[in-house]
């Protein structure tokens, strides 16, 4: 019996998907969700060695006007949307190549945080192919479904003015 690679056993890496992403020779926009935050990274690979050019998490939203009392919702759909918007603006500002999305081993379901993140990247101005019906509704993106009301438009305007 052949033992699978350690990262495959731990359900951290799908090597076939990674190989396809590396063969494309395009930079990757990696989105990961932790128990508290959404993490976004712009990663460039050279001979299967990954280099993070831009990395940020939804914790940065606290500096941009996210209410301190809503700190527990920094992994919500609204936070994913704003994190995607923020990294999209950073990519455009630094004039980097348009990346492809790398979601890793996450389950891909419509109208979830993943698509909220992608919608933020698309709204920032990057061209990423995605079906419109996969995105969450506008009221969920704007934080109206959250217990603590968040002014997403105000935070977006602060990101634009940076």
Q: How far is CA 131 from CA 79, 88, 100, 135, in A?
A: 21, 18, 15, 8
Is a pLDDT exceeding 90 seen at residue 48? Answer: no
pTM: 0.92
Of the pLDDT bands very low, low, confident and very high (cuts 50, 70, 90), residue 87 is very high
Picking from 33, 35, 50, the residue whose alpha carbon sits closest to that of residue 104 is 33
Q: Residue 47: its pLDDT value, please?
A: 87
Query: Averaged over 2-10, what is the pLDDT?
Result: 88
Least confident of 37-46, 84-93, 145-154: 145-154
Q: Residue 125: its pLDDT value, please?
A: 96
Of the pLDDT bands very low, low, confident and very high (cuts 50, 70, 90), residue 93 is very high
Report strand pairing: 28-33 vs 100-102.
parallel
**Pair 74, 37: CB distance under 8 Å:** yes
Q: Residue 147: its pLDDT value, please?
A: 84
Domains of the chain: 12-160 (3.30.420.100)
Is a pLDDT exceeding 90 seen at residue 75? Answer: yes
**Pair 85, 120: CB distance under 8 Å:** yes
* CA dist., res. 28 & res. 45, Å (int): 8
What percent of the chain is predicted at pLDDT more than 90?
75
Query: Averaged over 140-153, what is the pLDDT?
Result: 88
């Amino acid at each position: 019996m052949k033992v699978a690679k350690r990262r495959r056993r731990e359900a951290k890496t799908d090597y076939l998907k990674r190989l396809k992403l590396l063969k494309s020779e395009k930079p990757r926009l990696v989105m990961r969700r932790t128990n508290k935050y959404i993490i976004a990274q712009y990663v460039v690979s050279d001979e299967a060695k990954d280099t993070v050019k831009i990395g940020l998490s939804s914790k940065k939203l606290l500096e941009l006007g996210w209410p301190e009392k809503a700190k527990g919702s920094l992994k919500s759909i609204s936070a994913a949307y704003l994190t995607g918007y923020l990294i999209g603006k950073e990519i455009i500002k630094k004039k980097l190549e348009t990346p492809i999305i790398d979601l890793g081993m996450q389950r891909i379901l419509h109208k979830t945080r993943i698509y909220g993140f992608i919608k933020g990247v698309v709204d920032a101005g990057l061209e990423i192919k995605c079906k419109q019906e996969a995105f969450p509704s506008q009221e969920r993106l704007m934080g109206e479904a959250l217990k603590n009301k968040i002014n997403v438009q105000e935070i977006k305007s602060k990101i634009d003015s940076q």
